[in-house]
Structure 1
Amino acid sequence: MHIEILVEDASGKKLLESLLPKLFGKQGEPHTWRVHGYKGIGRVPKNLNSSGDPAKRILLDQLPKLLRGYGKTPGIDAVVVVLDSDRRNCVDFLAELKALVAGCSPVPNTLFRIAIEEMEAWYFGDQQALMAAYPKAKIDVLQRYQQDSVCGTWEQLADAIYPGGSAAIKKAGWPLPGQVKYEWAEKIGPLLDLERNISPSFGKLRDGLRRLITEAA
């Protein structure tokens, strides 16, 4: 089967590119996929017929148009949308996303997966991989983290592994936050173990993707 995967930023794209071969096998044997990274999450537009501004590449702004297009495109067997919950209510957010898909004609086979609160939670879920990538990480900071909690996840990770912590990153300002998150995806992502990871939202991503290809078999 062929799967189109949408994610809100470059670091998320990098992370998924390292995870997907572990789930699907080698590209083209037999499954194929493409990962599309956007430049932010945005919000679902009130007017679902809106096409948004394609030049800005904001994921939720573009999503209604994208899903309508995928539903009409032959050869696309599934669409996977991976998002951070940030501080949204996950139940309400997921209901809003599913309503968006239901409004498409035809309806594309779509799987939504939401990281709680941010994808950096998935690195905390496999601290063995995290420590292998960053052996000097501050153990006390890692131990304070409550898995898949809304607590300023990326900031806690930065406090554990970045010189000067999150304060130094915020002081430097953009583009450093994006660069640091990309580096984490690059270094930790390939080391993540699919079965060892204790993040519930990571488990839902893993199991949902496995079901997609199992059902297609």
Structure 2
Amino acid sequence: MHIEVLVEDASGEKLLEALLPKLFGAQGEPHTWRTHAYKGIGRIPKNLNAGGDPAKRILLDQLPKLLRGYGKTPGIDAVVVVLDSDRRDCADFLVELKALAASSNAGPNTLFRIAIEEMEAWYFGDRQALTMAYPKAKVDVLQRYTQDSVCGTWELLADAIYPGGSVAIKKAGWPLPGQIKCEWAERIGPLLEPERNVSPSFGKLRDGLRRLVSVGS
């Protein structure tokens, strides 16, 4: 089975590259996949037949066109789209995404998975991995987090593990936030254990991906 995996930014891509072999097995044994990072989530276009501007590489803006294209491409068995919910209502967002996929007609089997509020929630879901990667993490800050809550997730993680916390990152401005998130993915991602993770949204990712390849086997 071959799967195309779409994610909204480079840090998400790095995280998934560490996770997918733990869920699918080694690349090519028997499943294959490719990950594609975009430059932001964007929003679902009102006109689903619009082409969008491919140069901007904004995921939701491009998604209708992408799904139609994948549906016409031989050898693609499924598409997985991994997104942050940010401040959106997750249930409503998922309804919109499924409607978008249905409108693509000949599009491939498409699985949407949503992190609540951000993918950094999945690091909090495996505290052992997080503290192995960052042994000096501030335990009192980590304990303030309620799993899969909308609370400024990446900022709270930064307050726990980055010198100066989220204030220092925001003060420095772009590109530091993106660079720091990529570092977290590279350091924590390989240590995450899917069965140990207590994040409900991570559990939906894990179980959904395993079902996907099980059905396609």
- Give the distance between the partners of 1:72 and 1:105, measured in 2 at CA: 10
Aligned to 1:76: 76
- Give the distance between the partners of 1:36 and 1:116, measured in 2 at CA: 21
Letter in 2 for 1:147: Q
Aligned to 2:189: 189
| Larger displacement relative to structure 2 (96-105 or 138-147) | 96-105
SS in 1 for 2:56: coil
Aligned to 1:200: 200
TM-score (norm 2): 0.99
- Give the distance between the partners of 2:8 and 2:107, measured in 1 at CA: 22
Listed one character per residue, the Cα deviations across residues 140-194 of structure 1 (whole Å, up to 9, x for unaligned) are 0000100000000000000000000000000000000000000000000000001
1:105 Cα shift?
2.0
Structure 2 gap ranges (5+): none
1:108 Cα shift?
1.5
- Give the distance between the partners of 2:130 and 2:101, measured in 1 at CA: 36
Aligned to 2:30: 30
SS in 2 for 1:144: coil
Runs of 4+ in 1 over 3 A off after TM superposition: none
SS in 2 for 1:6: strand
- Give the distance between the partners of 1:47 and 1:142, measured in 2 at CA: 42
Letter in 1 for 2:140: D
Number of residue pairs matched by the alignment: 217
Kindly report which structure 2 residues correspond to 1:118-133, keeping only aligned pairs within 5 A, or say none.
Answer: 118-133=118-133
Give the fraction of aligned pairs with identical amino acids, expressed as a percent: 83
| Larger displacement relative to structure 2 (98-107 or 82-91) | 98-107
Are the equivalent residues in 1 in contact too, given 2:69–2:107 (CA < 8 A)? no
- Give the distance between the partners of 1:174 and 1:107, measured in 2 at CA: 36
SS in 2 for 1:187: helix
- Give the distance between the partners of 1:153 and 1:122, measured in 2 at CA: 10
Structure 1 gap ranges (5+): none
- Give the distance between the partners of 1:188 and 1:38, measured in 2 at CA: 21
Kindly report which structure 2 residues correspond to 1:141-152, keeping only aligned pairs within 5 A, or say none.
Answer: 141-152=141-152
Listed one character per residue, the Cα deviations across residues 8-53 of structure 1 (whole Å, up to 9, x for unaligned) are 0000000000000111111111000000000000000001011111
Aligned to 2:111: 111
- Give the distance between the partners of 2:94 and 2:72, measured in 1 at CA: 23
